Amino acid sequence: MSFALPVELDDIQGLVRFGYKHHTEASFLLLRVTDRDAARRWLASVPVCTAETVEPPPDTALQIALSGDGMRALGVSDTIVDAFAAEFVTGMANDANRARRLGDVGSNDPSRWQWGTGTRVPHVLVLLYALPGRLAGFRSAIEAQCAAGFEKLDCLTTIDLDGIEPFGFMDGISQPLVDWQRKRAAKDAERKDYSNLSCLGEYLLGYPNEYGGYTDRPLLDPALAGTRLPRAEDAPDRADLGRNGSYLVMRQLRQDVHGFWQFVDRQAGGDAGRRETIASAMVGRRRDGVPLIGPADETIEGGGAPGDLNAFTYRSDRDGLRCPLGAHIRRSNPRNADLPPGAPGFISWAKRTLGFDADALAHDLVASTRFHRLLRRGREYGTGVLPEQALGVPSADADTGLHFICLGANIARQFEFVQNAWAMAVRFDGLPSESDPLLGTREPATDGTPTDGFSMPRADGAADRISGLPQFVTVVGGGYFFLPGIRALRFLASPP
């Protein structure tokens, strides 16, 4: 039997609730444990910002995430570590099959990464956020504190491009609205309309998810945890190590900004307007964030009001005439309900439910977006280049990209699904020979099918088709982490 407990904002790390937008400066420390006791002492007492609202925002904010290797290095027992999700325990880069599914092949192969494999798997990820001008001092203070217990693998720096990602597009517009009030009835009943409101349990362990169930997590004998951990809602006789924690996926994605704009420019024959059209088609939004689907004039639960940049679905554009089916935002969130899209009304519903609508079946792959949402928390790095500058000669040291970060309660069903079944999928939504125009590796599929195409359907039934897309984004590091609740962090940092 389960019983709903209040949401303890003071036990949840702030990153789950906030993007730390005011904190325009950020650095990510990748650490390995060298002295277990010193590392534990630091983790047991370091101040971690919680999800409680603080006005005005604090000058600095620190968040802590641990990898599976990190938990073991801290002395957490195998029984506990192995009760976390299998993909977290195995890690992002330790399984050739996973690497293939994520597109980590060719120049994305983990053997080429700067961090994230072998002895370069971080044990602890420390995320530092600061108001303008406050990061440098904060970072050196934290690094000094860590010196006793950890070796620093790297410190990933970031750059504030004012909401624009390195290719030049506004980013961070679309996010699921997390149901902090727990008003959304958590159940697996069919949902006919796309909703942006998402159950808390999709992002935090210990709460009901969109299936109405509780995601598996380590539930411990209370004798082991005393009163240090909360009880599980769905198993009150167990201590819940997962509650208020979230998995954190991090990928360092290098962006070839020059390659992107120069390729698009060649396709456009040097025509500036056409260049913008093609680049926007690949993203699914214009550079200023306006969605290609046209006036965003739908009312979506939890999705904003008509007129804002996020109030749309693709219901009125099933053939991709306005926003290509393979555009990055359409692949990464097809904005579908639990049924393939179709006309409103009972007859259409019955046809689609019973599988008599051949057209709808082609869309089956992309149904039920609500089980595959990501809370994105990434930051850009490197140097910003305007698209117009990108048409010039690239500077030799241009290293810019995205520290992609997303949170979710289920890495396999959320990040891995979106990356594999949507972004990398060669036949996404019935498309031939394509993959995500931004993220694709362009490596042929296992059956030899090319993946380097991109099509922009036209009203006459044909499509403007581009082929020979080069790879624009290269994975240079990554890992799976757990962003524990504060009590769970202190528990994991305490001697067994």
Contact residues toward ligand HEM (CB under 6 A) are 165, 167, 169, 171-174, 253, 255, 283, 285, 328-329, 332-333, 374, 401-402, 404, 415, 418-419, 423, 438-439, 473
| Between 50 and 158, CB nearer to ligand HEM | 158
3-state secondary structure of 97: helix
The distance of closest approach from Cβ of residue 251 to ligand HEM in the complex, given in angstroms and rounded to an integer, is 6
d(CA 152, CA 30): 6
Task: Report residue 355 as tokens.
Answer: 């599988």
Nearer to ligand HEM, 81 or 327 (CB): 327
Spatial neighbors of 162 by CB under 8 A, at least 6 apart, are none
Residue 200 CB, shortest distance to ligand HEM, in Å, is 19
Q: Helices then strands (H, E): number in the chain? A: 15, 15
Q: How far is the CB of 444 from ligand HEM (least distance, A)?
A: 21
Which is nearest to 369 in space by CA: 257, 480, 201, 210?
Answer: 210
Is the separation of the CB atoms in 33 and 73 below 8 Å?
yes
Between 48 and 418, CB nearer to ligand HEM? 418
Q: Kindly state the smallest distance separating residue 306's Cβ from ligand HEM, in Å.
A: 16
CA 417/CA 249 separation, integer angstroms:
13
Cα(359)–Cα(370) distance, integer angstroms:
22
Least CB distance from residue 401 to ligand HEM, whole Å?
6
* Cross-strand pairs, 376: 406
Lookup: tokens for 351: 């046809």
Closest distance between ligand HEM and the C-beta of residue 106, in Å?
16
In Å, how far are 27, 65, 66, 122, 250 from 489, measured between CA atoms?
21, 9, 9, 17, 19
**Nearer residue to ligand HEM within complex by CB, 58 or 302:** 302
**Residue closest to 102 by CA, chosen among 249, 277, 294, 303:** 249
Kindly write down the DSSP assignment for every residue of 216-229, as one continuous string. Answer: ---EE-HHHHTTSS
Minimum distance of ligand HEM from residue 457's CB (angstroms): 19
* Contact (CB, 8 A) for 224 and 218: no
Q: Is the dihedral of CA 219, 222, 225, 228 positive or negative?
A: positive
The CB-of-173 to ligand HEM minimum distance in angstroms stands at 4
Nearer Cβ to ligand HEM (267/333): 333
Q: Which of 423/466 has CB closer to ligand HEM?
A: 423
The two tokens of residue 415 are 């990040």
Distance in Å, CB of 308 to ligand HEM, minimum: 12
Output 62 or 374, the one with its CB closest to ligand HEM: 374
Contact between 127 and 120 under an 8 Å Cβ cutoff? The reply is: no
3-state secondary structure of 150: strand
Distance of CA 270 to the CA centre of its chain: 34
- Which of 230, 291 has the CB closer to ligand HEM? 291
Of the CA atoms within 13 Å of residue 79, those in its CB half-sphere come to: 5
Q: Compare residues 25 and 171 and give the one whose CB is closer to ligand HEM.
A: 171
CA dist 246 and 65 (Å) reads 9
Residue 414: count of CB within 10 angstroms of its CB:
22
- Nearer to ligand HEM by Cβ, of 62 and 366: the residue is 366
